[in-house]
Chain A
């Protein structure tokens, strides 16, 4: 049976791309433009997002999403997946803004430093890069022999004093957590929906996790 997948639509992020790829792997999904307050079954809630941290967090706060998402994830234990900025929103906060994140995964985001000079890092980190999954991320890695590659576009990266929540890492000047997980809540800094068979495989692995 097809799983019930809902995508949070706050007017940010490329929802059509996510739906296109889910459709390609035989999975229906639905955009939701407001929190679902009844007992509708949700197997997976997706929080996509591009743009700035405070703008998106402001939208979540004013639309009544923040408490609802937290409740769905912590009380109902619905699987929650953040993509790109969506992953950042799952954490506590970002140098980019002042608002508090959803705080479902401990961690903060810090800006890549474009430290001048000839070999300076261009910011954003944009393009294809590899992800090295660890034990925690082994389910994300299923079906791949080598480190898979994905499309990235972001200027802020995950930091936390402990590696506890890191499921996969990427190197761009620093080695940082590009896949993170805390129980039923997980996030990818990269865009599986724009990463060919690598992304398709990752979404298949996500769907396998749903019960």
Chain B
């Protein structure tokens, strides 16, 4: 079973927090899945290269041309809080 502190550490890395009442259940589920995927340790695959690219398409580039993006109003339409044509958030720098 994953340690409680490790579970909370992982949650914090993912910017998530667990409710106290859910903690045990999540811990169990998480551990069960982790144990299951640990099945891969049965294999001796030292010399196998990890597969990164599924098809042969790599390093796709475009010319560095200035193109139309999207207007400010459209971009801000879904913003939860805005002011002065910007998205408003809490203080970032102390």
Asked whether A and B interact, the reply is no
